[in-house]
A and B are shown apart, each in its own frame.
Chain A
Amino acid sequence: MQTALTNRLEGPSFYALAGIGALISLLGLGAALYMETSGHHVTGMNNQVFWGLPHVFAIFLIVAASGVLNVASIGTVFGKKAYKSRGPLSGLLAITMLAAGLFVIMLDLGRADRLVIAMTHVNWTSVFGWNMVLYPVFFGLVGLYVWMLMDRKMYAYSKPVGIAAFIWRLVMTTGTGSIFGFVVARQAYHSAVIAPMFIIMSFAWGLAAFLLFQSAMYKWHGAELHESIRKRLNNLLGVFIAAVFYFVLVYHLTNIYFAKQTEFEQFILINGGVFSQLFWGGFVVLGTIVPLLLLYLPSMQRSAGAGTIAALLTIVGGLAFLYVFIIGGQAYPLDMFPGMEVKSTFFDGHIDNYVPSMPEILLSIGGFGVAFTLTLVAVRILPFMPQDDIAKLQASGALHD
């Protein structure tokens, strides 16, 4: 029997949270307006590092948005019963996080007033061009999917739409990874492994985002997630974190093996200053080792909060990885004359020192604000709260360990 849960938040009031979220979003919007009117010279970006902090946050949100849909897909496409009640919330988060990621990246354009031109003049050899189709159709498919999951009359159609959404987002995230994978010019990119690496990262970051928001929702409703479900979700997060580490390992090992890439790897892993610190401290320790310990140490598995902290750290690790990947890849100079020392007025041969400016920081955090506010308002209006019929799940054997 299901316990009736209301949509009212217990604890911090809905309006206070929505107000904070809206304020953060508006600050981001204001920062973007300032950058747009003054020009990018007010940012810390320059002609060497031109994709800065906003791109790190935007790509994180876009990749995680695709991955957060996994939870719904596991229920619909793969038939795992414990995930089925979580489908609508997963779909909602996919929509709001993608919207937030696009909010950040589109407002950072040099000519953000030309979005209509971007949608009407499409170059089909460009991944950014594909995205003009991939993103809107994703919104449409996931919107349909969520409707079908929540509307009893349409539930029968949720499986074909769910399969379509699952395949579509694999295409979309392959595209996101290929944005970098297709770039032959830079030592950090031009690798076929980047697309599948982004797919696996979407799994990990998306599930982490889902777990975070879900645990917040349970807290607000004064409810508690059943231990068996919590264990299943945590275990899945652990598997994804390990898989991400595998891909990053293969990517770096291969680079280290090539003599022409060794100096670049030394920069990223050893003497890159903030980049090496973020890679080891942020991604490896905080983003991989500590969450795995939190998820798998027997003493931790008994604690309800350990999984939430692991999810939060996974996100921190993801942001750290993207910072090193995107900004480190630009800060390291192009190798035009191998073996030579290079100097120029355009800072060739020179490792750039990028420092994010306040407008960029506000815009980046504004993206998280948008995702949070949109999701918060939606869960207030519609019943997204996962409602588990534990007895039924246990009877059908869906909760066995």
Chain B
Amino acid sequence: MKKPQDLLDNKPRRNFVGAAAIAGAGLGTLALAPGLHLIQVSEANTPSQGASGKVRWGMLIDSTKCASGCDVCVKACNTENGINETLKDARQGSQWIRKIDLKNPKTGQEHSLPMLCQHCAHPPCVDVCPTGASMKRADGIVLVDRHTCIGCRYCMLACPYKARSLVHLPLTNQNPEVPRGQGCVESCTFCVQRVDKGLKPACVEACPDGAMLFGDLNDPASEIAQRIAKEKTTQVRGDLKLNLGVRYQGI
């Protein structure tokens, strides 16, 4: 555990963050192929400057690679974000990411995909929130400010993806980087506590089949931007024209 002196004197923390950033940049420049980078950390802001509108975080999910019956992404999310409560009625439990199994009733063809908050550019949840607790950060991540959330659940009505959950009971033992509590509504944050350190969301990191890709949609050199420019991708309920941060392939 860090000595209190280290925590108060910001230099060690900045050093840590700086080291993480460099490590991240190092990882990022482990090119898969010339010109392709995992995350353009050098373009992202140093944490103390805050989120920037120049960046737009997004995700690309290839459902053809997603295995039915695999829920490693769900477990990783629950571990990272401290979602570990058990409820008598499972319908009351929070699910930030879930696996959806699809079956075409006419052909019998089946596939599965993870569904999470789509981090829309025009989020209906942000429009309807009475206190402005549901908000979109400058870099596109849609969050719930639990300091102002009154638990009215209007955002849950408005979300076209059923991304939001209400916390139905008192919580303890939260992850200090992911405060969450009774009576407030919550949803996937793209693991903002990790993204701000230059890491990838836990689900993306954990996927064993490489079905999930995370990156800066605004950076033409990022892998995700290049793949979206070259390959066919779709948005779930694209007719709603919400301009989603999460794109899918194979649906």
Residues of A within 8 A of B (CB): 36, 38-41, 45-48, 50-51, 109-112, 114-115, 117-118, 121-123, 125-129, 131-132, 179, 182-186, 330, 334, 336-337, 339-348, 352
Contacts and interface: CB of A to CB of B under 8 A. Distances in A.
A233 B165 CA distance: 46
Interface stretch (B39-47, B148-156, B211-219): B148-156
A125 B122 CA distance: 12
Contacts of B99: 344-345
Contacts of A38: 169-170
Interface stretch (B5-13, B24-32, B50-58, B125-133): B125-133
11 contacts: A39-B169, A40-B183, A110-B182, A111-B149, A123-B132, A126-B128, A334-B160, A339-B105, A341-B105, A342-B100, A348-B162
B168 A41 contact: yes
A19 to B, nearest CB: 33
Contact of A126 (B104, B130, B166): B130
A47 B156 contact: yes
Contact of B150 (A47, A117, A131): A117
Contact of A51 (B150, B157, B169, B185): B157
Contact of B127 (A126, A186, A344): A126
Question: Residue among B90, B94, B98, B128 with the most chain A CB within 10 A?
Answer: B128
B150 A114 contact: yes
A47 B129 CA distance: 17
Contacts of B158: 182-185
B153 A110 contact: yes
B88 interface: yes
The 6 nearest A-B residue pairs measured at CB? A110-B151, A110-B183, A128-B130, A46-B91, A185-B160, A41-B168
Nearest to B154: A128
Contact of A40 (B90, B92, B129): B92
Contact of B152 (A110, A182, A336): A110
Interface of B: 71, 74, 87-95, 98-105, 115, 124, 126-133, 148-154, 156-162, 164-170, 182-185, 236-237, 240, 251
Contacts of A336: 100, 115, 160-162, 236-237
Nearest to B91: A46
B126 to A, nearest CB: 8
A199 to B, nearest CB: 21
Contact of B148 (A39, A117, A184): A117
Given A179-B154, A343-B101, A348 B115 contact: yes
Given A118-B130, A122-B131, A334-B160, A109 B150 contact: yes
B157 A183 contact: yes
Contacts of B133: 121
A344 B94 contact: no
Given A125-B126, A128-B128, A183-B158, 9 more contacts: A39-B170, A50-B153, A109-B150, A111-B150, A114-B149, A126-B128, A128-B130, A182-B158, A346-B115
By secondary structure, the A interface counts as loop
A53 B130 CA distance: 21
A345 B92 CA distance: 11
Contacts of B182: 39, 110
A183 B161 CA distance: 13
B150 to A, nearest CB: 5
A295 B85 CA distance: 55
Nearest to B183: A110
A193 B197 CA distance: 48
Contacts of A186: 157
Nearest to B128: A126
B130 A132 contact: yes
B55 to A, nearest CB: 24
Given A330-B157, A342-B100, A47 B91 contact: yes
A47 B95 contact: yes
A115 B133 CA distance: 13
Contacts of A184: 124, 158, 160, 240
Contacts of A182: 127-128, 158
Nearest to B149: A111
B234 to A, nearest CB: 11
Contacts of A112: 150-151
Contact of B105 (A46, A48, A51, A340): A340
Nearest to A115: B150
B162 A346 contact: yes
Nearest to A41: B168
Question: Residue among B71, B90, B157, B185 with the most chain A CB within 10 A?
Answer: B157
A391 B164 CA distance: 63
A184 B91 CA distance: 23
Contacts of A117: 131, 148, 150
Contacts of B165: 47
A27 B45 CA distance: 54
B100 A121 contact: no
Given A110-B184, A132-B130, A345-B95, A41 B89 contact: yes
Question: Residue among B130, B149, B185 with the most chain A CB within 10 A?
Answer: B130
